[in-house]
Amino acid sequence: MVEREYIIKNGVKKLRRFKDYTIDELRQRLLDHFATLDRQHGRKPRVLASEAVYQDEAKEKRRLWNNYRSIISRQDRKDTLKWQDEMRNKTLNNMI
């Protein structure tokens, strides 16, 4: 599971941003995430996390970042829906 990473700057906990990562760090985080998955919808991924799609480093870093953020966004959405469902069930149970 990919989770958000934080850094401490001037005694303040801040979320790590795009510029705080290197290509190798992003690639490694994606490799670790995909290693935990058995399969993706029954087919192999077209591009492995270890492969480079773009020759330009800036474009490749942006691609890896978008993949990383997409995974986190999907997890956040699932967590939000689960929380909403739990709150709805608590409210309904208290009304009955």
pLDDT at 21: 86
**Interval 41-91: pLDDT, tens:** 656 667 777 777 888 889 989 988 888 888 888 888 988 999 999 888 887
Q: Is 6 helix (H, G, I), strand (E, B) or coil?
A: strand
- The pTM of the full predicted model, rounded to 2 decimals, is 0.67
Cβ–Cβ < 8 Å for 23, 61: yes
